[in-house]
Structure formats: C-alpha cells, structure tokens
Amino acid sequence: MHAGIIFLLVIIGSVLFHIFTPWYWTDIASNWQGMDDTITLTFWVGGGVFVAVCLFMVYCVFRYSYKEGRKAEYKPEDKKLEKILTWATTLGVAALLAPGLIIWNQYVNVPKNALEIDVMAWQWGWQYRLPGEDGKLGTTKVTNINDENPFGINIDDPFGRDDVLVQSDYINLENNKPVKILLRSVDVLHNWYVPQFRSKMDAVPGIVTFYWFEPNKVGEYEVLCAEYCGVGHYAMRGGVEVQNAGDYNKWLSEQETFDELIAKNELEFENKKLAKNNNLNLNKDIYKEE
Amino acid sequence: MSDEYENKSGYQAQSSETISGDSPGISPDMDYVRPAENAEQDLYHPHSFIEKWVFCQDAKVIGVQYFLTAVFTGVVGLILSWLMRLQLGFPGLAGFITAEHYYQFVTMHGMIMVVYFLTALFLGGFGNYLIPLMVGARDMVFPYVNMLSFWMFFVAVAVLMASFFVPGGPTGAGWTLYPPQTILEGTPGHGYGILLMLISLALFVIGFTMGGLNYMITILQARTRGMTLMRMPLTVWGIFTATVLAMLAFPALLVSSIMMTLDKLLGTSFFMPTILKAGEVLEYGGGSPILFQHLFWFFGHPEVYIVALPAFGIVSDLISVHARKNIFGYRMMVWAIVGIGALSFFVWAHHMYVSGMNPWFGFFFASTTLIIAVPTAMKVYNWILTLWRGNIRINTVMLWCLGFIVTFVNGGITGIFLGNVSVDVPLSDTYFVVAHFHMVMGIAPLMVIMGAIYHWFPLVAGKMLNEKLGKWHFWTTFLGAYSIYFPMHYLGFIGVPRRYYEMYDSPYMTSGVGLNEFISTAAFIVGAAQLILVFNIIKTLKTGKKAEQNPWKANSLEWFTSTVPPEHGNFGDRLPVVHRWPYDFNVPGADEDYLPQTAAPSEVAHTEVEKT
C-alpha cells in the first residue's frame, strides 16, 4: 500500500516538476523554433505514455496486491490487445518521427542566400573568416598555416585574397540573415555551439562540415565547444554578437582582409629586414669604433 | 508453443478419477519427452582449494567470481562519480580535482560502468550462474575455457586499474575515446594511460569471447530433455541474445582498439588526418576520425542492448514469479528480444547525428531508431499487463521491478527525443544526454541487478536477505537516483554542455547552480545507501534465516537442484525433465499457485494448462 502511494507521488511530482520548473529552455534566438516545437510535441506524447504506463502500474499495485487464496488470472496471451497496442505505438512513433524528419530536411538544405562563414577551431580557440566582395571564400590547407597566414589560405586562389579575417573568439552576425557555418579543425574534434541558436555540428580535422541557422534576435551570446577536445574543452568559449544591418556593416568594414594582412606582413618583413640591416650596420659601426 | 496453442484446448480439465485408473481417455504418451541425444557431460571435480575456489571450472563459482570482480570495478566507478559530482556541485571545494583529473574520472567512470561493471555482471555474473541451472545442464559445455574467460577478464581489470598508477595517469579521452585527441598531447593520459586502456579492452574482448561461446553453445546444445527454446525462461533468452550481439559487436571494438594502438605506437594514420599542433604539422595524414566513430558505435550501440536485454529477461522472470502470474505474451516477449537485438545493429549512427558524417544518413538512422521503440514499448506493456489481475507480492524484489519500470519508461521516452534526429541537434552533447543514458542504461539495469540479488541470494547463499533492510535500500536508491537524473534533463534544456569541468558564470548556467548542488548531494546519498546492501548481506550470512528450497515458489529449474546452494553438477543423479514453460502460475484447477517446469502432465491432469 505504501509502495503504491510513494510511486504515485513520484509520478505526480514528475509532472509538477515539469510544469513549474524554473530550469527550462534558454530563450531561442534563431529560426529553429521547429525543433522546440517537436520537443514540446514529444513531451506531450511521451509524457502522456509515461504517466499512463506508471499510473496503470500503480493501479495494479493497489488493486492486485497479494491476498492469500486469491487466484491470478491465467491468460498467457491476448492477440487482439497485443495487436492494438502494437499499431497504436507505431502510429504514435510515426507521428513524432514525421516532424523530426521534416525539420532535419530543412537543416541539411542550406538556403541559397546564406552567408558562408569559415569557423576554424583548434586547441583551444576559434577564429573566423568571411567572404570578401566576391562573395566567395578562398580554399585552404592545414599545411599552409603559419604566422603570416593564420587561416592557411591558398595564396594562388584569387577568391581568397579579399577574404575578411577575424582573428578573435568573437564574431558578429547580421540579424535575420541566414548563415552557413563551415567548420574546420586543425587538430581534434570541436563543435561550435550557441545554445540560443539550438543548432550544432562537429568540426572534424581533415574535412569541412556545415550547418546553418538564421539569427533573429539582436544580442550577445556565448559560444561553447560542444565536443570534447581535451583538457581545455570547458574553457573553449567564444562569443557572438547579433547586430542590425547598419551596425554589422560598420563592424565588417573595420575588419582586415587577407590582402591587407599580406601587405602588413610584407611591411613588417621589410621593417624587420631594415631593422636587421640597421642592426648589422650598427654592429659594424660598433665594431669599427672598437 | 505450437499451433495447437491457437485452439486454446491444451489439456482439458479432467477429473482425478480419470487418471487414477487405466482409462483409455488419457493417451499413454502424455508425459512423453524425447530421449536425450547426447551422453551426459563429464565434469572435472576439483581436487584442491585452488581448483575449487580460484581456478575453478564450475560455472557457478565462475559466475560469483565475475560478479565480485565486476562489483569491485563498480565501486571504483561509483567513487569516481562521487568525485565528479563533488566538482560539479561544489566547484573548487576539493582542490585536488584539476581539469586533468576530472576528465580522467569521467573517462574511467564511463568505461568501467558500461563494460567492466554492467556487461561483466550481467553476462559473466548472472549468465554463468543461471544459464546451466535454468536450462537444466550440469555445467557450461566448455568449463575450462569458461575458467580462462574469467581470468582473462581479471587480467583486463588489473591492466585497467594499473593505468591509475602509470606516469600521466589513466586516459582522460572520454569513454568514447574519439581520436585524434585520444592519442595527442592536450588529453590527459595520452601516453601510457590510453595504451593500457586499449590493451585492457582487447583482453576483455578476448576473455569475453571465450565466455560468450560457452553461453551460446550451452543454451543451444546442452538444454535438458523437454526444454525447448520456447520453454526457456526469458532470462535465458535475454542473455542468449545479448551474447550473440556481443559476439558480433565486440570485434568492432577490438579492431578499432588495435588500429588506434597502431596509430599511437607505429604512426599509422587509420584515424589521423593531417594535424597541426603547436605550430607544427604532425607526421599523420589521410585518416578519418569519423571512421573510428562508426566502428566504436557499431560496437557501442549493440552494447547498450547487451546490457539491456539480460535486464529485460531477468525482470520479466522476477515480475512473473512475484506477481504470481504468467508473463503476458511470452512469444511476443521472445520475438521482441530477438527483434531488438537484430535492429540494434542498424541504429548506431544515431550517436553521430552531429558528428559531421554525411547528414543524409540522419533520415535512415532516425527511422530505424524510432522503429526499435515499438518492440521495446511492447515489452513494457507486457510487463504491466503481467501485473494486471495478478496476485502481486509487494516485496523487495517486486519493488526493484517496479522501480525498473518507472526508470526504464522514463529513460526510454527521452530516447525518443534523442533518436529523432532534428530534436537531437539542440540536445546532443548536453546534460539531457547524460540524464537519458544514466536513467535508461544505468539506473534501470541497476534496479534489475538489485532485484536479482534479492531474488537469487537464497539460492546462491542459502539464506534469505532481510526484507526490512531491503526496503530501505530500495527506497533510498530509487528515490535518490530518480531525483538525480530526472531534474538533470532540464540542465540539458538550458543548454549546459556535458564534459565541462567548470561552467564559470555562463549567463544561462547560473540558474542551474542550485540544481547541481542538489544533484550532487543526492548522488552522495545514493552511493552511501549501497552500504545498506553490504550490511544486509553480511548480517544475513552471519545470522540470517535459512532459506527453504524454492522460497519464492518459482517454476524454473534453478530452484529444483539437489541441494541449496547447488553443488557442482547442479542436479544430483538425474537431470530434470521439462514438461512446460516456467510461467504456469495460478493455473485453473491446480492445487498450488504454481506448477514447476518439471511437473509432468499426468501429475496435474486436472488442470487447464495451455500447451506450451
């Protein structure tokens, strides 16, 4: 008897917890409302089944607790009942699967107008690259990466020269404009994840993976690495700021392009050479003086 | 069951007078059971203490050895989980837990609990003890190989534990061991730790193969007369199917372990693409990290069912015995076990929806994953329909079974969230996943293990465990574990990622701080509550009530041994002969509320038994 009551309280408690929980979704800030809706639907159907099964169990505990001399029913099978239950379950499962697959179809089909962003991950940090005026990202290679070419862009690729480089964990996005996140990693698995955008995908060294979303709420969000990547995993954070077009374009215009970086590097190289020569000359002078 | 089952005739009610005389009404071969096809097994009886208790060939002793070794690893896993919860609930309180340590605890906890605790306990422990007894055999068919199996497992555990003491400590790569980080600097234990882990896994697979062949062949070839496949207890069906799965799945783990060892030691590039570390390009190139994930989950998903199917089987038997009612829909239950086992090989990539594999796979694997929910749901319905119109003993064993139903349904339903590809996208790699799999393959099977301990302890030790202590043990464990994992799902909704040593003050996380403290506190209590069982066992062994033969009035053969606890050889001079399934409870017309599998039809001719 006690057992039945405690189990009943557990079920009631679970339902109440779900209704009154202060811990729930972080407010959504992207187009993936459909994912939240499917979760809600699954909660209704699945939660209903959970409550029904458990209540039936509790009923049995109350109603059919052991009594000396009572006969349990002897009925090994009930074909009809089993058939009904099988089909009802199949139907319920199909009803949940359908919206799931429809949204997945949207998830894997990126809209044509999406802005491609190269998200490059390493242990432990992020940096970003946006296409320049030609609207195309240049090709890259891990072995090209060095101090002068932090993104490993192929120098010969004309599309790469005007790419906008953001050497920071933080990036800005334009509100209401779809973005296609192109993920790559130079070392181990990572995953560029913003809880408010709901979407994620692993970055895998050796290949480029992708996903897309459309931010729809201006604000700042934290980026988390969502695939375990070694001891610094928990500290691999970044940030996103979603801005309106005006602010965004202003920010974009302030960023450096690959061409500008090359020019800067060459200038630095020249300066270094000069400094080195000066140094040599200076040394010579010193030598002379001695 | 044959087609005759359909017409519900079976053995019609017959007055006792009809059988007492030589009435022509009864066919003379009513009790006929086909003669044995093989001669009886020769057993090697031990000659010394070492042969009896250490290098023993008796499956029952091997089962207990497996059980105790697995429990030892489980205790290590439990302590590791405490340390993790200490860090998560009260960050910084225990200064010695660095990020390196935390990830090592996570990894070792996961691997220990899944492979060395649950798998070894269900198949090595319960499998060894119960299979020969339940199918009416004197021992496993290859007792010597069976002994080797345990000692191989023992060495695997020793190697695993040794990794705690090597330079760099155990691996901290996460139990999934995803390359490339597993074998690169930046992951704790990337040197000796990971090597010992891979060696230990290989040893485990080798040892397990020896045991697994034994379980399968014993079940297929050494059943006693009359024990048809469709008269086997569901426990045996669950263990049998799980063993078949293990035989097919573990090789994938073995080869991926070997390939990774080669990547680590010889510089091959099975899983290693071109990698830039600290400004230098490593001498790897062309390998695929995702290939490892496919191999790992081709093992890893069936592994879930390797743990779950024995639990399904055992709980079916416990429910039936203690509800004093036949298991509802036995044939459906058998086919569901077999069907789930077969389907489990076609769902692995649902662990990889956001892994970067071709996203079009998502459609296929979401569909297969949700299809597997149907036979699983049927099993749940059949368990509660077994309770319905039963005569349910609400004892400790039944409480664990009821606890199993609640936690399993809960965890099964959150599985539908995660299997449904696009719903998985926001939830994957968050605490929702952690809560889900702990509920469904941690707590639910644990409930069954506990129920099984209380159920079969009288058989193994010959004494009855204390009911009152058992109930305290159950309620603290069940309520505690439920309050750990039920609220944990909601951390996942917030978006809290798993495998985070420290959350800092992420804005959406701050609301979860109190919840984390609560979960940690509950985890400490649940862990400590297991001491009640330890105390109960010690007390019972010392002063407990002696168990009578078949104290639960069960039907299956393990309760009809010549002695309690059973001796080597199990059944005395003559092997039992089986005439019915093990679920004939409360048969109309029967004097008692149970009919043992050995009860011949002529002895109970006045009952209305459905033919099995």
Taking CB atoms and an 8 Å limit, are A25 and B493 in contact across chains? Answer: yes
Closest-CA residue to B69 (of B151, B173, B163, B175): B151
Long-range contacts for B466-470 (Cβ within 8 Å, ≥24 apart)?
Answer: B466/B536, B466/B539, B466/B540, B466/B544, B467/B395, B467/B396, B469/B532, B469/B533, B469/B535, B469/B536, B469/B539, B470/B395, B470/B396, B470/B399, B470/B536
Q: Compute the distance between CA of residue B431 and CA of residue B519 in angstroms, rounded to an integer.
A: 12
Judge whether B189 and B177 are in contact, CB under 8 Å: no
Is residue B489 within 8 Å of B414, Cβ to Cβ?
yes
Structural domains of chain A in order of their starting residue, each with its CATH number? 2-63+79-108 (no CATH), 115-266 (2.60.40.420)
Residue to mutate among B101, B181, B260, with most A CBs inside 10 A, is B181
A101·B99 Cβ contact <8 A = no
**What SS3 class is residue A153?**
strand
Written as six digits, the tokens of A216 are 């729809």
| Contacts for B7 with CB less than 8 Å, ≥ 6 apart | none
In contact, B163 and B200? CB cutoff 8 Å: yes
Q: Which residues 6+ apart lie within 8 Å of B504 measured at CB?
A: A237
Nearest CA to CA, how far is A289 from chain B (Å)? 42
Structure tokens at B26: 């009864």
B319 — pLDDT class (breaks 50, 70, 90): very high
Average pLDDT rounded to a whole number, residues B463-490: 95
Inter-chain residue contact B409 with A186, CB threshold 8 Å: no
Q: In what order do the strands lie in the sheet with A237-243?
A: A170-174, A237-243, A219-225, A190-193, A202-203
Question: Residues 6 or more apart from B463 whose CB is under 8 A from it?
Answer: B457, B540, B541, B544, B545, B546, B547
Contact across the interface for B515 and A81, Cβ inside 8 Å: no
Residues of A in contact with B507 (CB under 8 A): 222
- Whether A142 has its CB under 8 Å from any CB of chain B: the answer is yes
The reported pLDDT for the residue numbered B49 is 85
Contact A164, A190 (CB under 8 A): no
Q: Please, which pLDDT band fits residue B520 given cuts at 50, 70 and 90?
A: very high
Is the Cα torsion angle B383, B387, B389, B391 positive or negative in sign?
positive
Comparing alpha-carbon positions, the chain A residue that sits nearest to B394 is A65
- Chain B contact set for A100 (CB, 8 A): 366, 420-423
Does the CB of B368 have a partner CB in chain A at under 8 Å? no
Q: What is the 3-state secondary structure (H, E, C) of B439-486?
A: HHHHHHHHHHHHHHHHHHHHHHHCEECCHHHHHHHHHHHHHHHHHHHH
The answer to whether the Cβ–Cβ distance between B366 and A89 falls below 8 Å is no
Q: pLDDT tens for residues A6-58? A: 999 999 999 999 999 888 888 899 999 999 999 999 999 999 999 999 999 99
Q: How confident is the model at residue A275 (pLDDT cuts 50, 70, 90)?
A: confident
Beta carbons of A225 and A135 less than 8 angstroms apart: no
CB proximity A80 to B under 8 Å: no
Burial A165-199 (b: 16+ CB within 10 A, else e): bbeebebbbbbeebbbbbbbbbbbbbbbbbbbbbb
Query: How confident is the model over A242-250, as a mean pLDDT?
Result: 95
A226 and B188 within 8 Å at the Cβ level: the answer is no
Q: Which residues of A touch B588 (CB under 8 A)?
A: 71, 74
**Interior angle at CA B532, CA B150 and CA B67, nearest 5:** 5
Residue of B nearest to A35 (CA): B423
Q: Using CA atoms, how far apart are residues B178 and B188, in angstroms rounded to an integer?
A: 13
Q: What residue ranges define each of the domains in chain B, with the CATH number in brackets?
A: 49-232 (1.20.210.10), 549-612 (no CATH)
Distance of CA B204 to the CA centre of its chain: 16
Q: Which of B341-350, B406-415, B584-593 has the lowest mean pLDDT?
A: B584-593
Residue range B215-244: average pLDDT?
Answer: 95
Does the beta-carbon distance from B187 to A226 stay under 8 Å?
no
Give the residue among A50, A97, A82 at the shortest CA–CA distance from B408.
A50
Tell me what pLDDT residue A280 has.
61
Q: Check if B366 contacts A (Cβ < 8 Å).
A: yes
Percent of chain A with pLDDT over 70: 94
B328, B406, B422: residue with CB nearest A100: B422
Rounded (10°) CA dihedral A219, A223, A226, A232 = -160
| Interface contact A74-B100, CB threshold 8 A | no
Lowest mean pLDDT of A217-226, B136-145, B332-341, B584-593, name the range. Answer: B584-593
**A48 at interface of B, judged by CB pairs closer than 8 A:** no
pLDDT at B26: 52
Examine the pLDDT at B7 and tell me if it is beyond 80.
Answer: no
> Which residues does chain B have within 8 Å of residue A54's beta carbon, measured at their own beta carbons?
405-406, 409
Are B181 and A189 an interchain contact pair (Cβ–Cβ within 8 Å)?
yes
Contact B374 A86 (CB under 8 A): yes
pLDDT at B422 over 50: yes
Please tell me the least confidently modeled range out of B290-304, B427-441, B501-515: B501-515
* Partner A contacted by B9 (CB < 8 A): no
> Distance of alpha carbon A219 from its chain centroid, rounded?
17
Is the Cβ of A37 closer than 8 Å to some Cβ of chain B? no
Residue type, A93: V
Look at strands A179-185 and B276-277 and give their pairing: unpaired
Compute CA distances B197 → A186, B116, B132, whole Å.
Answer: 26, 12, 32
Phi, psi torsion values for B177, nearest 5 degrees: 55, 35
Tell me, yes or no, if B187 comes closer than 8 A to chain A by beta carbon.
Answer: yes
B99, B374, B387: residue with CB nearest A57: B387
Q: What are phi and psi of A225, to 5 degrees?
A: -85, 125
What pLDDT is attached to residue B52? Answer: 83
- Tens digit of pLDDT for each residue in B345-375? 999 999 999 999 999 999 999 999 999 999 9
At residue B24 the predicted structure's pLDDT band, cuts being 50, 70 and 90, is: very low
CA distance B414 to B432: 8
Model confidence, pTM: 0.91
β-bridge mates for residue B247, sequence order:
none
